[in-house]
Structure 1
Amino acid sequence: MKNRSLTALVSAFARAYHAEYNQHPVFNDSLARAMLTDEEYHNIGVQMSQGIGFFLPDFKGSQEEALRAVVDFQLSPTPLGRAAFTEQALHNAVMLGAGQYLILGAGYDTFAYRQPEWASQLQIYEIDHPATAEDKRRRTAELLPPKPANVHEVPADLAEPRWEKLLLAAPEFDPSRISFSSLLGISYYLTKTEFEQLLSVLAELLPAGSSFAFDYPDGRTFTPEAGERTQKQIKIAAQAGEPMQASYTYPELEQLLEDCGLLIYRHLTPPEITKELFQAYNDKQPEHPLSAFDNVNYCLAVKR
């Protein structure tokens, strides 16, 4: 991705919209709205509401209702669910001694700027393509509080060989310190070989006991058995210039992780995600229910 990521901007919009319009959010990203200008926020909303015929052909209602339907149906389930899953796992890892948080493909993630008290001892590294990293740096300088001292930007193209040299050169980074890595939204856009190489590099770089959280498309993603939302998402990603590249069956993923020296610690399928992460929200706001995205699983792996 040689330009700022469009999918990352839409994910920020989805997190912002959900936090703004729900009293009991699945995931409360209180700073996502500040990542977008008023014009961007408005334009994305208009484009999505006008696309209601693509997302939900039988929908009838106002433009405002159409936007809510598109966000709840298509845009927000994955950004909300995977963020909640990852930050819960990060909290647990910190309580067990993790001292570094690596956010790969950081996009417009806001954790570094809304970090809770328990994260104050972490060294946080936001790693992303230089174009997206520069765009985010501009936005945070204009719209968000000053960058905390424990936050470090690492502009790096993860598809380039030896990108990890840039991480090793970052302030305070210690490859011997137990770390937590998030790789959200990455597995979709890399080939299987590239994703395995990325995990292998991280696993070799970090010590035993380090954790790795990511979401991934399951083995039915590119088949006729894929869910309606998945089929639409594949088209959207291709049109945005960020085509999806790979999907994984559970045995494939298990073998890939084993080859990298990693073991699956937690694994959630869509029904489990809905029950664990969305049910409390759905009970409190039954008029706007959410369900986990079709064919997307969450995984937390640990280095042996």
Structure 2
Amino acid sequence: MEKQSLTALVSAFARAYHARHNEVKVFDDSIARQLISDEEYAGISGNMAKAAAFFRPELSGSPEDALREVVDHQLSPTPLGRAAFTEEMLEAAVRLGARQYLIFAAGYDTFAYRQPAWAAPLQIFEIDHPATAEDKQRRVSALPIETPANLHGISADFREPNWRSRVLDCPAFDPMRISFCSLLGISYYLTKEVFRQLLSDISSMLPRGSSIVFDYPDELTFTEQAGDRAKMQVMMAAQAGEPMLASYSYTEMERMLEEAHLLIYKHLQPDEITAQLFQAYNDSQPEHAVIAFDHVHYVLAVKQ
């Protein structure tokens, strides 16, 4: 990656669109829209409205209707669901003593800029590839908001062997403190060996009781048995220059985590994601229901 992540920008767009157009929300990202320029927002909106013929060929209606359908059907489910799940698990972890929040591949995550009162004990670390980290900082610097005192940015490429030293060298990071880590949208884009090593490396620098949240595509993702949305998502990622590289069975993921001294504490399958995270919104907007992707699962794992 020589440039900022396009998929991260589209995820931010999905969160921004959802927050602006709904009173009852799956996840309320009140800052995301400010990180996207008007030109970018209009460009993504126009492209996605035109793409409706690809995503939902049976649709008819205005460009705005088409955009809404593409966002709700294709773009929003995973960014909204995994963010809601993560921050729910983070709040519980803070109440149990977590004092550091490590956001791996932070992209355009905005938690640090809208952190609730319960996050006050946290030191927050945004860890990302230098190109995306620099772009995020450029966007934030243009906003009339102050950088929170408990936020620390760390540039690192997880595919490089020295990435851990960048975290450990950060003066604010304490390897003895119980930590909560989010690895959202990462497992798709790394080979299995690299993701396995990443889990092991993260676990090795955290104390017992620390936890990791991530999403992963299951073993049907790259097969003919995959749903249409999953196939389209794989195609979109490849066209954006960020191809998906791996998928996992539950047994395989469980074994990989155990090798890293992590045990699955919570695991949500797609139907559970829809029922637990989307139901209130869907009840309020039945004509614009958000349904979890067929082959995407969420995990909370705890170090033993």
Class of the TM-score when normalised by the shorter of the 2 chains = over 0.9
Q: What code does the residue aligned with 1:191 have?
A: T
Instruction: Describe the superposition over 1:61-98 as per-residue Cα deviations: whole angstroms up to 9, x where unpaired.
Output: 10000000000000000000000000000000000000
Matched, 1:128 2:92: no
Instruction: Describe the superposition over 1:243-292 as per-residue Cα deviations: whole angstroms up to 9, x where unpaired.
Output: 00000000000000001100000000000000000011111111211100
Instruction: Describe the superposition over 1:152-172 as per-residue Cα deviations: whole angstroms up to 9, x where unpaired.
Output: 000111111020111111131
| Aligned residue runs from structure 1 range 143-222, under 5 A | 143-222=143-222
Instruction: Describe the superposition over 1:2-45 as per-residue Cα deviations: whole angstroms up to 9, x where unpaired.
Output: 21000000000000000000000100000010110111111000
Instruction: Describe the superposition over 1:212-254 as per-residue Cα deviations: whole angstroms up to 9, x where unpaired.
Output: 0000000100111111100000000001000000000000000
Measured in 2, the distance between the counterparts of 1:29 and 1:253 equals: 30
- Residue equivalent to 1:110: 110
- Residue equivalent to 1:12: 12
| Unaligned runs of at least 5 residues, structure 2 | none
Q: Alpha-carbon deviation of 1:294? A: 2.0
Deviates further, 138-147 or 188-197: 138-147
Measured in 2, the distance between the counterparts of 1:263 and 1:39 equals: 44
Q: What code does the residue aligned with 2:2 have?
A: K
- Residue equivalent to 1:294: 294
Measured in 2, the distance between the counterparts of 1:98 and 1:2 equals: 34
Matched, 1:85 2:85: yes
| Aligned residue runs from structure 1 range 218-237, under 5 A | 218-237=218-237
Taking only aligned residues, the RMSD between alpha carbons, in angstroms, comes to 0.6
Q: What code does the residue aligned with 1:268 have?
A: L
Question: What secondary structure is seen at the aligned counterpart in 2 of 1:222?
Answer: coil
Q: Alpha-carbon deviation of 1:144? A: 5.0
Instruction: Describe the superposition over 1:191-230 as per-residue Cα deviations: whole angstroms up to 9, x where unpaired.
Output: 0000000000000000000000000000100111111100
| Aligned residue runs from structure 1 range 240-251, under 5 A | 240-251=240-251
TM-score normalised by length of structure 2 = 0.99
| Aligned residue runs from structure 1 range 50-69, under 5 A | 50-69=50-69
- Residue equivalent to 2:28: 28
Q: What code does the residue aligned with 2:38 have?
A: D
- Residue equivalent to 1:285: 285
Query: Are 1:112 and 1:124, in contact at CA under 8 Å, matched by a contact in 2?
Result: yes
- Residue equivalent to 1:49: 49
Measured in 2, the distance between the counterparts of 1:169 and 1:134 equals: 19
- Per the alignment, do residues 161 and 144 of structure 1 end up closer, same or farther by CA in structure 2, a change over 3 Å counting? farther
Measured in 2, the distance between the counterparts of 1:217 and 1:280 equals: 25
Q: Which runs of 4+ in 1 moved over 6 A?
A: none
Aligned pairs, number: 304
Measured in 2, the distance between the counterparts of 1:276 and 1:147 equals: 33
Query: Are 1:152 and 1:171, in contact at CA under 8 Å, matched by a contact in 2?
Result: no
- Residue equivalent to 2:94: 94
Question: What secondary structure is seen at the aligned counterpart in 2 of 1:16?
Answer: helix
Measured in 2, the distance between the counterparts of 1:116 and 1:148 equals: 12
Measured in 2, the distance between the counterparts of 1:101 and 1:278 equals: 25
Q: What code does the residue aligned with 2:258 have?
A: E
Measured in 2, the distance between the counterparts of 1:158 and 1:143 equals: 29
Measured in 2, the distance between the counterparts of 1:238 and 1:143 equals: 32
TM-score normalised by length of structure 1 = 0.99
- Per the alignment, do residues 278 and 144 of structure 1 end up closer, same or farther by CA in structure 2, a change over 3 Å counting? farther
Q: What code does the residue aligned with 1:37 have?
A: S
Matched, 1:74 2:74: yes
Measured in 2, the distance between the counterparts of 1:129 and 1:174 equals: 22
Measured in 2, the distance between the counterparts of 1:218 and 1:302 equals: 21
- Per the alignment, do residues 144 and 296 of structure 1 end up closer, same or farther by CA in structure 2, a change over 3 Å counting? farther
Q: What code does the residue aligned with 1:265 have?
A: Y
Q: What code does the residue aligned with 1:70 have?
A: V
Q: What code does the residue aligned with 2:71 have?
A: V
- Residue equivalent to 1:119: 119
